[in-house]
């Protein structure tokens, strides 16, 4: 986390993933970085943090604990297949 300080040299650097989504004129773009790290050590530099779910009708991105994110993506994909065309119901 970033610490607020009057002197920028004393603040700690930002850590974490950003998933950015832009929707305009009926089109959507979603992007994220590919770096996975444990503390200050980069363990993978080309991870796919943006994935399609279901039959490609849903796009999602994740950040945070990788194992937890993959588990949640798998569960969501199962629900999307269970309730086709009902994204809100699948997410609840």
DSSP secondary structure code for residue 8 in this structure:
G
Interatomic CA distance for residues 75 and 88, integer angstroms = 14
Pairing of strands 41-44, 36-38: antiparallel
Report the candidate in 82, 24, 33, 26 with the shortest Cα–Cα distance to residue 53: 82
Active site residue 17: yes
Please, is 33 exposed, middle or buried when counting C-beta atoms within 10 Å of its C-beta (0-12, 13-18, 19+)? middle
In the set 3, 17, 66, 78, the catalytic residue is 17
The catalytic residues are 17
């Amino acid at each position: 986390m970033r610490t607020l300080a009057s002197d920028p040299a004393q603040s700690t650097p930002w850590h974490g993933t950003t998933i950015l989504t832009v929707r305009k004129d009926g089109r959507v773009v979603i992007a994220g970085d590919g770096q996975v790290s444990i503390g200050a050590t980069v363990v993978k530099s080309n991870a796919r943090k943006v994935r399609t779910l279901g039959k490609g009708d849903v796009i999602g991105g994740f950040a945070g604990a990788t194992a937890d994110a993959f588990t949640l993506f798998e569960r969501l994909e199962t629900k999307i297949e269970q309730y086709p065309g009902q994204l809100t119901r699948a997410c609840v």
